Amino acid sequence: MRLVLLGAPGSGKGTQAARLKSYLEVPHISTGDLLRAEVAAGSPLGLQAKEVMARGDLVSDEILLGMLKDRFSRDDTRDGFILDGYPRNLAQAAALGELLTSLGQQFDAAVQLDVDNELLIERLAGRAQAEGRADDNPDSVRKRLKVYDDQTAPVIEFYRQQDQLTVVDGVGTLDEVFDRILAAIKVSRTPG
Ligand code: B4P
DSSP 4-34: EEEE-TTSSHHHHHHHHHHHHT--EEEHHHH
From the list 11, 19, 41, 17, the residue with the least C-alpha distance to 29 is 17
Best of 58, 82, 90, 177 for a ligand 1 pocket test (most atoms within 8 Å of beta carbon): 58
142 is catalytic: no
* Domains of the chain with bracketed CATH: 2-184 (3.40.50.300)
**Residue environment code for 37-55, b if the CB has 16+ CB neighbours within 10 A, otherwise e:** ebbeeeeebbeebbeebee
Q: What is the average pLDDT across 158-184?
A: 97
**Residue environment code for 88-112, b if the CB has 16+ CB neighbours within 10 A, otherwise e:** bbeebbebbeeebeeeebebebbbb
Is the pLDDT score of 104 beyond 90? yes
151, 89 Cβ separation under 8 angstroms: yes
According to DSSP H, which parts of the chain are helical?
13-24, 31-41, 44-54, 61-72, 90-102, 117-131, 138-147, 153-161, 174-184
Q: What is the pLDDT of residue 189?
A: 82
Q: What is the average pLDDT across 107-112?
A: 97
State CA 128 to chain mean position distance: 19
The per-residue pLDDT for range 35-74, each reduced to its tens digit, is: 999 999 999 999 999 999 999 999 999 999 999 999 999 9
The per-residue pLDDT for range 155-168, each reduced to its tens digit, is: 999 999 999 999 99
Is the pLDDT score of 192 beyond 70? no
180 is catalytic: no
Q: What is the pLDDT of residue 102?
A: 97
> What is the pTM (predicted TM-score) of this model?
0.94
The per-residue pLDDT for range 110-154, each reduced to its tens digit, is: 999 999 999 999 999 999 999 999 999 999 999 999 999 999 999
Catalytic, out of 36, 71, 144, 180 = 144
The per-residue pLDDT for range 8-31, each reduced to its tens digit, is: 999 999 999 999 999 999 999 999
SS3 assignment, position 81: strand
Ligand 1 lined by 113 (C-beta under 6 Å)? no
From the list 113, 183, 181, the residue with the least C-alpha distance to 148 is 113
**Residue 186: exposed, middle, or buried by beta-carbon count in 10 A (0-12, 13-18, 19+)?**
exposed
